[in-house]
Amino acid sequence: MDESEVLQVLQDVGAFRTGHFVFTSGLHAGTYINKDAIYPHVSQVSRLCRAMAERFKDDNVEVIIGPAVGAVVLSTWTAHHMSEILGREVYGVYADKNGEDGFIIRRGYDKLIAGKRCLIVEDLMTTGGSIRKVIGAARIVGAEVVGAIVICNRGDVTREMVGEPPRLESLVNLQLEQWPEADCVLCERGIPVNADVGHGRDFLKSKGMVQ
């Protein structure tokens, strides 16, 4: 898939939104990609994961890892397609949230991936924080991280920002204008924050604007 095909998928499933949104990172933006709108469309998820597997078919990948929750689906589908491409089993596992704003490899997956060549998959990157934490968790248990790939890089995230894996890839790069709260032009204009997606509701709760 090329970038235009990926963008078409995102448009077809209704993943693009406009308004005033707050990301997990705390940044504000006028455009939002609702990753949750992608997952119900199984055939499209499969296409995207096939494209991610194709990017790393020559890297001798043995395990696909995705951060919980959404990327669990991506790790399974990408592992399925990578197994087909390579003609051998490629494991699909996931990293759990550790309750302290980080990730941990457990459930026996830590022993499964030790010493193996692992690819990290994720849906969106804004700051690269989740991928950086998963890469760190995988390295702690002895995995060899060969790269990371996302459906969409919406924050111009670089390898250095996610812990310098050998490769960082994305199916599509979008330059979305975003601001810290203090510099948000949408806040300045009084445009209401969307509470339905992203971290808008948590943001509004912190301001005492919703219960």
Q: For the residues 198-203, what does the mean pLDDT come to?
A: 90
pLDDT band at 211 (very low <50, low <70, confident <90, very high): low
Q: Looking at residue 142, what is its pLDDT?
A: 98
pLDDT level of residue 99 (50, 70, 90 thresholds): confident
> Considering the entire predicted model, what is its pTM?
0.86
pLDDT digits (tens, 9 = 90+) for 8-43: 999 999 998 889 999 888 899 998 888 899 999 999
Query: Span 173-201, mean pLDDT?
Result: 91
State the sign of the Cα–Cα–Cα–Cα dihedral 183, 34, 148, 139. positive
Walk me through the domains of the chain, giving residue ranges and CATH numbers: 3-206 (3.40.50.2020)
Q: What is the pLDDT of residue 175?
A: 80
